[in-house]
Structure formats: structure tokens, C-alpha cells
Chain A
Amino acid sequence: MSPSCGGTVDISVSLVLIISFATKSDTGNYSCMTQPPDTISPTVSIQIAGLQGQVWYWMLLGKSAILLFSLASLAVKYKRGELRRLSAHGAVSRLQARRHFGVSRCLTAKAPPARKPRERVEIPGLERITYAERMHYVPGLAKPVFPDWERDYKDPRHYRSPPVHEMPLYKEKPCYVFNQRTSVLEGVRQALWLTKTKLISGLPPHLVSVAENPANQIPDQDERVQNAIKHARFWDTTEERPRKEKYSKTLLINLIHLCATLQSSHPAIGRRILAEKYSLAATWKRGEDLFQIRGQNGLLHNSMDPLPAVSGSQEVADTADHVLETFYPVSPTIDLQKVHVYKEEVNSTGFRGDYPYPHSHTLYFLEGADARCKLRPEQFRANMLMFTFGNALAHAHKLYGTQPQRVLDSPVTVQAVGTNGRIFQFLVFQLNTTDLSGDDGIKNQVWLDEDVELYDFAKVRPLIKKKQVR
């Protein structure tokens, strides 16, 4: 629904309802009413579209019409500026709860509807005589209107923020922000479109060969990994079994600990350091829209030396032929937080100045890290991809400046690992270009290995179903 612009009292509202299914038995007369009554001007027209070949026109079923009309009325009220509170997603919410003061009448019934306050009539040229000087109500005199009192000192406990369009950082053009709790509808496809990336499934071959090389393996690897899994899944708590968030975190830490024991033979491991709770920020333009990525996403392994580029310059040039996958009619900005108040050109890796470990090596994501948002596997992978891209972009901006570059001299490579305690996702991202405005040209590349199971199950007691041990 789209309320038309204009600040007049009478606003025409048009509702477009698309009905996908109708039968002959649904014909008939329907009545509807608006709640609260007469808030919408009488010129409400309902167009019913989408019926293939049917000629019946009817109003939709009662209750949904009431709902739609009430939403429309709230939209109209918002447009008039009568509603002040908005929820985070830009939708309209109700005013403060209506109080039910009358205690001498029945308390269990529905509260009577709020009475509209008497309308103040301003007649130009006439002075309103109020009972302000008399200091008490006098029947016949008007109610005085006093100016709002503002505190002359600053009290941080009583601060009302100005409306959005009066804030100093307000901009007309909206910015779409991706944060660590965003769950995008189209998952990896949307993340690929937003970051102008080509997806290659499976890890790059040289990484796989490094993993298979026995010189790089830990002595007694199987037994130690099994001990690590058992410790995380069974032994870490005084109760019977630890909770999912706890065991996934413990497992990740145990495995990183195991890998780091190879430091004596691989001194490069000693040149890395872990950082947790670092705040990332990166900005880029895609088409006409401005995008930002912000947030504290997880563990980061920072290294003194950059990762080598995975694919050579020839392959990078070949990505120019790849066409990005779109998912019309869904907009690529769906599920991203739209803000009008933002700082332009924020690019920060989370560390300042000449940090001795400037290059991001690997990010570690935990699915259960944030209790408030539960991401499905596809959305989790998209989250991983976006934050890896954000890290690479922030670093590229720091190295080459914020002007979009068509092709980077040395591509920035960042890796990521995500887990939920049993299933792992591996990702290698290579940033080839910072020129992300158009859909053509050189693309970035990502190698994704999804849903790799570390073990089938880890159970504390055997499952007994129908008196048989499974």
C-alpha cells in the first residue's frame, strides 16, 4: 500500500489486493468497517486485480479487510505526523497503551474507546481567553496551551532524541546496512550479487593438496581430534552434556589449539594473533545504492603477512565474462537495514594505525554466537561471505584508497570458517576489484565448501527405540 504524499487532511488511499485463488461459492456481499472509524476519507477505492478471467468484483473477507484498513489508517496517521513512534524496520506501531482509569465501573470489560480531544479552533484576529491567570478551571474559558518545557542543562537520563530528519547526519539518500544479525532472503545468491562475486564450489586445489600433505598433519591426528571432539561434546561440563552454544565454541577453540601446535614446524603460525570482538566497517556503492557492512562478527586471525592470491591474473580477467545471477522480482536490497542517518565513507578494519598484524587471515563464525538471531545454513553462509568481503574491502580501501579501482594490483585474499558444532563451512574470498557500481567488468571470486560434516553424531547414551538399541 502506498499512501500518496501530501499533508492535507483528506488523503486518498488506494489498496491493491491480489487474489490468487477464488471459487464460485465465494461470491456474495461482504461488509467491512474501519477501526478506528472515519479516519480515512470516504474516497477509498479498492481495486481487485489478478483474477484470470473472473468477472466477480467483491470486497475481501471481513477480518482481513479490517486489518488492512486499520493498517492503512495508521499509515495515513503517520503521514499526517500524528504518530511519533516507529519500530526498527520502518513499520508503524501504535501509540502508548490506553489507560483504563475508571474503577467504579466494571473492570473486566473492554476499555471504552478513547475519546477524541476537543478540537482547538484558531480564529485569526481573535484572542483566546484562557483560565491561565485564574490558575483553575473556569467553565466557558478556553484551555490554555503552555509552551513545552526544555531542560536548560543536559541530563543523560532524560534525553529525547530529535526526529530522524533533524539529526545532523541525516541524508536523503538511504543506505543499506548489513550487520551480524541480518538474515537475507536469498542467501548466498544475494550476497554474491551485492559483492559482485563469482562462486566456485569446492576449495581451490592447492589448499586441498596442502591439507592432504602428511608433512602438514599433526602427529596422532585422528586420536587427538577425537579427543578434542569428545572434550567439547561430553567432558566439558558437570552436567550430562553441554549446551550447543558452549560445545560449538569449545570445539572451535580446541581445533584451533590443535592446529597451532604445529608452530614449531610452521613458524608462520607464530606470526598470527587472534582478535575477538573487533568492529568492522566498510562502504561501497552498487548501482545507485550505497551499501555498508558493520558489526562485530566473530573471531579473527590477523597475520603479519598477506595471504597469496589464489587465482592468477588470467583467471581474474576471465571473470569479466561471468554474468551475475539476479533473482527478480526480489530486490537485492531486501532484508538489509535501511537507514537515512549514517556517516559516509566509513572504512575501518577494527584496528588503528600501524597495527603489527595488518592482514586478515581467517575469520571464524559460530552459528550459535548470538542468541537473538538464529540463521539458517544458507543465511549463515551469506553472512560469512559478506563479512569476509567486508574485511577484504576495508583492507583494500586502506591500501589503495577509497576510489573504486577496476582491478587491484595484488588481489586481497581472506579465508573464513563457519560451524555449528558439527557441520563446517569453508570459504576463500579473493577481492579483485573495488569498482562495484556496474554489473559488468571484473568480478571477485569465492571458493565455497559447504556442509562438511566433521562427525556423524556424538551421543551420550545409546538411543533406544522400541526396545532396540540403535
Chain B
Amino acid sequence: MAARTRLPLLFPKNLPPFRHQKLVHTEAVVKEPQYPPIVPSLTAKSKSARRRQFEERVKTICASPVEEKLSLITRIQRQKFVVYPQTFARNADRWYQHFTKTAYIPGLPEKFNLNAEKTTGEEGSPSAPAQVAVPGIDDDAFADIRCMVTRVILQEQWYMKKRKPFLYREQEMMVGPLLRNLVTGLTFSLAKYNPLLLRSSLDIDPQVNFYWWRGQRIIPKGHRKGRQEPTRFQIDDRPHSQIRISQQLPQFTPLEASYTAEVPEITYAPNLMPLFRRQYDNKIFTGSKLPDPACYGHTQFHLVPDRYQRDRMARQQQSDQVEVFLRANGLASLFAWTGAQAMYQGFWSHEDVTRPFVSQAVITDGHFFSFFCYQLNTVALSVDTDANNPRKNLLWGTESMRLYERVEKGEVVGLNDGVIKLLVQFLLNQP
């Protein structure tokens, strides 16, 4: 049966029609804030005040030009760990990977490896001569370069009358001039294939410095006991020589590809490595000051120290540390160089790099050559910026390879073309 529904006989009193219209048909009202935003104090003795001070500091740094940025970041001197690229600590490369958030990939990037595969494929064909082919260079030029390398080696090892080297100065007296002539000879022979080298700047015995924050620790003792303190690191490096260019080298892999790389995690404190702390000027330097037009790096060349001798390490059963030393050296030097280049462009912890910075290095002791490539994907290594940072830096490196067996009666025996090829490819790298 039809139930009698009660119709609302009366309009509800609290809904007068005129006032109601306004609520139904108008948009949300945008109100001007009548008071400034409520932020924590700047000078109070509280944790929020400290946080706000820090944020203000970050804002002033972001807003200033590059020179001021660098001086503001490196202004305050505190105790920091001094990281030496050439160190005898055991397993130094894992420690340094942890400090710099770098993943190690054995071998070289595809652009250098591709040619090795191509030549192995071509060896079957009878028309290919015994020499390896480098893209961009014809065989005659490669033969010229090979002769030049032979002559350079012979000059230093055979033709020049040298006195017996002083104790622990053999690298400086014997290998230094050889490397210098090799670098200059190769650079100018390859200048016509790589026009960047024509405009490059060659530094002999430059300085490279970098200062960064990574991780934190609880202060164990003192009036600041119990508080968190960020760990500061400084690298002061002196490569034998380096080539700086005015344009940036192209990246080896895109940024996103580094998200999956693995960085070894070390739970111990850095001073257990052993690593020691000092307090002095925090320097960030690529090899030349800011106004220099050649501000990007191309290749560095390093000499190993005199106390690093393979046969001595073999006698002490430390043959595995041979490669570890070279890797740690390449990693630290290249990280410092690329980091300093990024800082010169205005990127720092709180403003991460928008494009990867790429550099190369060759480490040698006269006979053995090792090649390293580094891609810096992130400078945001301090605690608060690293929390959600999936990017990692990448290091590619080779094992050490012999350039020649020995020098006998004015002849170089056993010259390795592969090493020359890699050197040439390194120097030919251009955007």
C-alpha cells in the first residue's frame, strides 16, 4: 500500500534562499595570507632552529655565483680525513668506493671494447694485416705512432746517458721524462683527428684537490658528545700530467643505468682503514682556477710511487694488492678531478649534477699501463641528500698490461700494440 510520505512541509529555517545561492554557485575563495609563514626561529637554542639555520645557509649558497659558492662551502675548517690516492692500505679500493659511492665495472666501456671485438672478428679474414685497426686512424698513422713510441722509449732507456738513479727517485728520473714525451708526442700526432686536443691545455705536475662530506658519526667524547657530526674528506692529488679541454666529454652510459650498480658498503669507521684526520684549508681545484676556459678534464697520467714494486709485493705474498692499489689510485684521483669540475660548474651536494662528468686516467710505472674511465653521476653524498639518491658513480678499469718486454741493444722487444691502441683511443675521445 502506498505509504503516506511525509513531505517536508516547511523549508528548514537554517537555509535562507539568498544566502544559499552564494554557497552553491561561487568558486573557492582565495584568501591572501595576512601573516608571514610560521617558521622555526633562527637564533633559538633548539633543534628546529639549527635545522632552519642550515636551510638558510643552503639557500644562500644556492643563490650565490660559483666563486662565492666554492668559498662558502670550503670556508669553515674542521678536522677531516685526508684521503691519499696512492695508499698501501689493504683493500683500499673497497673503502674508497664506499666513501665516494662508486661502483667498479671491470673492463672498459663499450666504446673502447667494441673495437677489440671487431678486430678479433676480423682476424679471420686474410686481407687484414697484423696491425690492429683503430676507427678514425688509418694504418699508416698508427705505424707512425708506433715508431714514435718506440723512439721515445729508446731515448729514455737506451740512448740518453743517465746517471744511476737516486734511492726512491727512479720513477721521477727514469719514467717521468718518458711519460712526458709520450704524452706530448701522442697529443700532437693525434691532434688532426681530435680537434679538441688542439685547443687543450697540458699541465705538468698540477694539483687536484677536492673536499666533500659523506656519512656521519656520533661524537664519542667532548663537550659535543652524543651529537651527530658529518664526516669530511679531502683529497690532495698531484698527477704527473693532465690534459684539460674546453668542452665536456660525452657520457659513457646514461644516468639511469647507474641505479642498478652495486657499491660496497663498509660499516667500519674510516679511521680503521687506516685514515688520519687533519685540519687545514679545504681546497677544491681542478688544476687551474675558475676563469680558465679549459675547465673540463680529458685525461690524467699518473706515476706510481717508488716504494710500490711488484716483485717486492710478490715476495710478501701480496700480489692481489697490486691491482687494488692501482684501482684505488684511479678511483680517488678521478673522483677528485670530476668532482672539482662539477663544483666549478656550480653543482654541489644540495644541487646535484644535471649531466654526468666524464674523465679518463692512465696509471703507469714505465712497463705496466692501466687504464681507467670515470663517470660522475652524483655529488650529493652528504647524509641528508644521499637518503633518496639512487644514482651512483661509475668506474671502469683494466688490469695492468705490459707495454714492452725489455730494451736490448737499441731495440724494443715485445711491444704490445693493444696498449698503444688503447692510449690512442683514450686520446681520441671527443664529443
Write out the residue numbers on chain A whose beta carbons fall within 8 Å of the beta carbon of B293: 227
Binds B, one of A48-56, A175-183, A256-264, A413-421: A256-264
Which residues of B are in contact with A by a Cβ distance under 8 Å? Answer: 148, 151-152, 154-155, 158-162, 173, 177, 180-181, 184-185, 188-189, 191-192, 198-199, 201-204, 206-207, 209, 281, 283, 285, 288-289, 291-293, 410
Tell me the complex Cα distance, A376–B152, Å. 35
Contacting residues of chain A (237-282) with chain B, CB-CB under 8 angstroms: 237-238, 250, 253-254, 257, 260-261, 263-264, 269-270, 273-279
* Contact among A224, A264, A353, A357 for B191, CB-based, below 8 A: A264
Given known A238-B283, A263-B189, contact A353–B159 (CB-CB < 8 A): yes
Q: Closest CB of chain A to B375's CB: distance in Å?
A: 26
**Is the Cβ of B159 less than 8 Å from the Cβ of A352?**
yes
Write out the residue numbers on chain A whose beta carbons fall within 8 Å of the beta carbon of B177: 275-277
Given known A237-B207, A270-B189, contact A348–B184 (CB-CB < 8 A): no
**Is the Cβ of A230 less than 8 Å from the Cβ of B161?**
no
**Is the Cβ of A351 less than 8 Å from the Cβ of B291?**
no
**Is the Cβ of A279 less than 8 Å from the Cβ of B161?**
yes
Q: Closest CB of chain A to B362's CB: distance in Å?
A: 19
Tell me the complex Cα distance, A234–B289, Å. 8
**Is the Cβ of A230 less than 8 Å from the Cβ of B192?**
no
Tell me the complex Cα distance, A236–B207, Å. 9
Tell me the complex Cα distance, A229–B203, Å. 13
Given known A275-B160, A279-B161, contact A231–B285 (CB-CB < 8 A): no
Tell me the complex Cα distance, A250–B288, Å. 12
Is A356 positioned at the interface, with any CB of B under 8 Å from its CB? yes
Tell me the complex Cα distance, A289–B201, Å. 49
**Is the Cβ of B181 less than 8 Å from the Cβ of A273?**
yes
With A235-B292, A356-B154 given, can you name 17 additional A-B contacts, CB distance below 8 Å?
A224-B199, A234-B289, A235-B289, A235-B291, A236-B206, A238-B209, A238-B283, A260-B184, A261-B191, A273-B185, A274-B184, A275-B155, A275-B177, A351-B159, A354-B410, A355-B155, A357-B155
**Is the Cβ of B188 less than 8 Å from the Cβ of A261?**
yes
**Is the Cβ of A264 less than 8 Å from the Cβ of B285?**
no
Q: Closest CB of chain B to A397's CB: distance in Å?
A: 16
Is A350 positioned at the interface, with any CB of B under 8 Å from its CB? yes
Write out the residue numbers on chain B whose beta carbons fall within 8 Å of the beta carbon of A234: 289, 291
Which residues of A are in contact with B by a Cβ distance under 8 Å? Answer: 224, 227, 230-231, 234-238, 250, 253-254, 257, 260-261, 263-264, 269-270, 273-279, 348, 350-357
Tell me the complex Cα distance, A257–B198, Å. 9
* 9 interchain pairs, CB-CB under 8 A: A231-B288, A235-B291, A238-B207, A257-B202, A261-B191, A263-B188, A270-B188, A277-B173, A356-B151
**Is the Cβ of B289 less than 8 Å from the Cβ of A273?**
no
**Is the Cβ of B289 less than 8 Å from the Cβ of A269?**
no
Tell me the complex Cα distance, A350–B285, Å. 39
Q: Closest CB of chain A to B229's CB: distance in Å?
A: 26
Q: Closest CB of chain B to A214's CB: distance in Å?
A: 18
Tell me the complex Cα distance, A275–B203, Å. 18
Q: Closest CB of chain A to B301's CB: distance in Å?
A: 15
Write out the residue numbers on chain B whose beta carbons fall within 8 Å of the beta carbon of A354: 410
Which chain B residue shows the least CB distance to A260?
B188
Most buried by B among A235, A276, A353: A235
Tell me the complex Cα distance, A279–B281, Å. 41
Which 10 interchain pairs have the tightest Cβ spacing? A235-B289, A264-B192, A263-B188, A235-B288, A355-B159, A351-B159, A261-B198, A235-B292, A260-B188, A238-B285
Q: Closest CB of chain B to A347's CB: distance in Å?
A: 13
Which chain A residue shows the least CB distance to B163?
A279
Write out the residue numbers on chain A whose beta carbons fall within 8 Å of the beta carbon of B189: 263, 270
Which chain B residue shows the least CB distance to A236?
B288
**Is the Cβ of B201 less than 8 Å from the Cβ of A231?**
yes
Write out the residue numbers on chain A whose beta carbons fall within 8 Å of the beta carbon of B292: 227, 230-231, 235
Tell me the complex Cα distance, A236–B288, Å. 5
Write out the residue numbers on chain A whose beta carbons fall within 8 Å of the beta carbon of B184: 257, 260, 274
Which chain B residue shows the least CB distance to A220?
B199
Q: Closest CB of chain A to B115's CB: distance in Å?
A: 24
**Is the Cβ of A350 less than 8 Å from the Cβ of B160?**
yes
**Is the Cβ of B410 less than 8 Å from the Cβ of A353?**
yes
Write out the residue numbers on chain B whose beta carbons fall within 8 Å of the beta carbon of A231: 201, 288, 292
Tell me the complex Cα distance, A250–B410, Å. 33
Q: Closest CB of chain B to A241's CB: distance in Å?
A: 11
Write out the residue numbers on chain B whose beta carbons fall within 8 Å of the beta carbon of A263: 188-189, 191-192
Q: Closest CB of chain A to B193's CB: distance in Å?
A: 10
Q: Closest CB of chain B to A302's CB: distance in Å?
A: 8
Write out the residue numbers on chain A whose beta carbons fall within 8 Å of the beta carbon of B209: 238
Write out the residue numbers on chain A whose beta carbons fall within 8 Å of the beta carbon of B198: 261
